[in-house]
Amino acid sequence: MTRRREFLQIAGIGLPQLLSAADSAVAKNCIIFFLEGGPCQHDSFDPKPEQTADIRGGFKTIPTAVPGVHFSELLPRCAQSFKKFSVIRSVYSKEAIHEKAKQYIFSGSRPNNAFKHPVIGSVVAKEFGPRAGLPPFVCIPKKDISADAGFLGAAYDPFITGDPARKDFKVQDLALPAGVSLEESAARARLLAGMDDEIRAAEKSKLVEGMDHFYQKAFDLVTSPAARKAFDLEQEPAKLRDSYGRNAAGQGALLARRLIENGVRLAAVFQGGYDSHIRNDEASKKTFPVFDQAFAALLGDLDDRGLLASTLVLAIGEFGRTPHINHSAGRDHWPGVFSIAAAGAGVPGGQVIGSSDAQGGAPKDRPVSIEGLGATIYKKLGIDYHKEYRTNGRPVRINSDGAPVRELFG
């Protein structure tokens, strides 16, 4: 397309500068741990022990591996592992409805009425394509209505795994149906190839080319033992599986590690239950410990395998929760300020970036925008996020106006 060249012309960026941008791509992979519903900043990385109970909430604080920094007592393992990751306490959003807020943080671009922006994973899929026969963008365990390719089209939608903690876990449509051997599958695939021969030989449209391409990839996935193994958690030692937690989020995080190890570029693990409008403390007691175990285990495991240096790991939610506890002992949606965690791919450990005000309601210093988070991820992955896509003739930048969080670049 013309746009790229035009952009380069306008920006006056020559090839050498671009190359150096690609060189600085430290992240070969990315894992996003998504805390769905809006995790409470007070109950996690930004406790407010000096506040009254209606703000502080029901949890105490504990020291972390970094002197002077405290987390909520719900995150003991994260506290111990704090040398492995950074926390930003001053992220803010502008959307307070789940779907829109998720779309905002998944895409790094604010939702609008004119078009639907692709999410970061879809952009990664488009820019880099598949690696080692595996889909580039995977969501674990389910499809999220806010996490799709938008105007880029279904070809860049995430691949969905299903819940890996289930006893009968099997990735949807990935394995041959029960009772069909590889030999039988190959035989009928040959029959199919013969049936398609005539159209394939004569038809030159992109559509048929595309269908062919995906069938080929599907056959590769189904028949390649390595690809199928990537989804097979049974290959992991029981002890390691235990360490992540035998639940959807824990096993999901482990699956994410297996997948990026084998070729997936961006894996998103969803853990629900954070939308604590009623009885916040009870909700937090159920959710955060699961996250604590899984996230700490993931960072440790990645580090042990030497993968942390090349894998950007983020723990994010769509927004935070109200500083004041409501009449139902819950907390409501609060995009004003919330915390996220980031690790790997050159992100320094043990660092607290920014802070919130006394009640945990607004950024006090170093406010970090959603666009900035998006730009950070793109920069880590070596994607030129000023690049323009086009939808219906309209230029749309991959990320508009975001500045990468420089503290995450060491």
Partner 1 sequence: MPPLVSILLLAAGVDVSFERDVISILTTKGCNSSGCHGSPAGQAGFKLSLYGSDPAADHTVVSRRIDLKNADNSLILRKPSFAAPHGGGHILTKSADEYRVIQQWIEQGGKRNASGPRIVSIEITPREQILSAPGAAANVTVTGRLSDGTTRDMTREVRYAVNDEAVVTVDATGAVKAKGRGLTTVLARGMGRTATAQFIVLDGAAASVSQRAPTNFIDREVFAKLREVRIEPYPLSGDDAFRRRVYLDAIGVLPTTEELAHNGLASARPSGEQLARLGPCRSGLCAPAEAAAPLDRAKLIDELLNRDEYTSHWLVKFEDWFRNSQYYSQGRTNASYKRWLAEMIRADRPYDEAAREMITATGDTTVHPAGNFWHPAIDFMLKTFEVSKATPTVTRLFLGQRIECAECHNHPLENLTQDDFYGMAAFLGRTKVKHGYAQYRRVWYNTREGEVLHPVSKQPVAPKFLDGTTPAVNAERRDALAEWITRTQKMQFARATVNRIWAEYFGAGIVEPADDFRSTNMASHPALLDQLAQAFIDGGFRFKPIHRLILNSQTYQASARAPGRANGGDPLERVLLARYEPRKLPAEVLLDAVGQVTGVPQTFGNYPEGTTAKDLVASIGSTYFLTTFGHPRRDIMEPRSQAPSLAQALHLMNADAMREKIGSPKNVLAELLEKTLDDRAGLDALYRRAYSRAPSEKEWRAAENFVGAEKEAGRSRRRAFENVLWAILNSKEFQLNQ
Of 112-171, binders to partner 1 (CB under 8 A) are: 112-116, 135, 143, 145, 151, 153-155, 157, 159-160
Residue 342 CB, shortest distance to partner 1, in Å, is 25
* Residue 357 one-letter amino acid: D
What is the smallest separation between the CB atom of 238 and partner 1, expressed in angstroms? 28
Residue closer to partner 1 (CB basis): 43 or 384: 384
Among positions 218, 226, 278, 309, the unique one binding partner 1 when judged by CB under 8 A: 218
Pick 352 or 396: Cβ nearer partner 1: 396
**Contact set for partner 1, span 84-103 (CB under 8 A):** 96-97, 99
Binding partner 1 (rule: CB under 8 A), the pick from 131, 200, 279, 285 is 200
Footprint on residues 350-369 left by partner 1 (CB under 8 A) = none
Q: Which of 292, 248, 249, 277 is nearest to 37 (CA)?
A: 277
| d(C-alpha 149, C-alpha 39), whole Å | 25
Task: With beta carbons less than 8 A apart as the criterion, state whether 92 and 338 touch.
Answer: yes
Return the structure tokens found at 121. 């994973």
- Name which position in 24, 394, 406, 410 contacts partner 1 (CB under 8 A): 394
Tell me how far apart the alpha carbons of residues 129 and 70 are, in angstroms, rounded to a whole number.
41
Q: Which of 67, 68, 177, 225 binds partner 1 (CB under 8 A)?
A: 177
Distance CA 200, CA 212 (A): 8
What is the phi/psi pair of residue 198, to 5°? -65, -50
Among the listed residues 385, 326, 354, the one whose alpha carbon sits nearest the alpha carbon of residue 87: 354
Segment contacting partner 1 (CB under 8 A): 68-76, 190-198, 245-253, 272-280? 190-198
Question: Rounded to an integer, what distance in angstroms lies between the CA atom of residue 73 and that of residue 64?
Answer: 10
Closest distance to partner 1 from the beta carbon of 194 (Å): 5
Reduce the secondary structure of 147-166 to three states and give it as a string: CCCHHHCHHHCCEECCCCCC
Q: Which of 25, 62, 65, 208 binds partner 1 (CB under 8 A)?
A: 208
- Give the integer Cα–Cα distance in Å for 32 and 315: 6
Options 30-38, 202-210, 249-257, 306-314: segment touching partner 1 (CB under 8 A): 202-210
| 69 lies in the site for partner 1, by CB under 8 A | no
Closest among 280, 276, 258 to 267, alpha carbons compared: 258
- Binding to partner 1 (CB under 8 A) within 296-325 occurs at none
> Which of these segments, 21-29, 60-68, 198-206, 336-344, binds partner 1 (CB under 8 A)?
198-206
Place of tokens 């996935």: 221
Pairing relation of β-strands 29-35 and 311-317?
Answer: parallel
Nearest to 299, CA basis, from 64, 78, 140: 78
Cβ proximity of 85 and 98 under 8 Å = no
Q: Note whether 409 binds partner 1 by CB under 8 A.
A: no
Q: Is 214 in the site for partner 1 (CB under 8 A)?
A: yes
Binding segment for partner 1 among 62-70, 84-92, 107-115, 249-257 (CB under 8 A)? 107-115
Q: Does residue 188 touch partner 1 according to CB under 8 A?
A: yes
Shortest Å distance, C-beta 103 to partner 1: 10
Using the rule CB under 8 A, is 221 a contact of partner 1? yes
Q: Which is nearer to partner 1, 70 or 170 (CB)?
A: 170
What's the CA gap between 144 and 160, in Å, rounded? 9
Those residues whose C-beta lies under 8 Å from the C-beta of residue 379, and which sit 6 or more positions away, are 24, 25, 385, 404, 409
Q: Any contact of residue 205 with partner 1 (CB under 8 A)? A: yes
8 Å CB contact between 152 and 145: no
The smaller minimum CB distance to partner 1, of residues 116 and 324, is found at 116
Q: By CB under 8 A, which span of 84-92, 311-319, 335-343, 395-403 interacts with partner 1?
A: 395-403
Residue 224 Cβ vs partner 1, minimum distance, rounded to whole Å: 13
Size of the site for partner 1 (CB under 8 A): 73
